Homo-oligomer: A and B are copies of this chain.
Amino acid sequence: MSNLPTRLDRCCPKRSESWLARGALRPTRQRMSLAMLLIGDGHDRHVTAETLFSAVQETGEKVSLATVYNTLRAFCDAGLMQEVTVDGARSYFDTNITDHPHYYWEESGTLTDAPADQLAITQLPEPPAGMAISAVDVIIRLRKKPN
CB-contacts of A122-138 with B (<8 A): 122-128, 130-138
Distance between A95 CB and nearest chain B CB, rounded to angstroms? 18
Judged by a CB distance under 8 angstroms, whether A121 is at the interface is: yes
**Size bracket, chain A contacts:** 35 or more
How many copies of this chain are found per oligomer? Answer: 2
Q: Select from chain B the residue with minimum beta-carbon distance to A136.
A: B140
Indicate if A85 sits at the interface (CB-CB under 8 A): yes
Bound together, the chains give a CA A86 to CA B139 distance in angstroms of 11
Which of A8-16, A55-63, A67-75, A111-119 interfaces with chain B?
Answer: A111-119
A49 CB, nearest partner CB in chain B, Å: 12
10 chain-A/chain-B pairs, Cβ below 8 angstroms: A86-B137, A105-B131, A106-B134, A114-B125, A118-B123, A119-B123, A130-B145, A132-B143, A133-B140, A134-B141
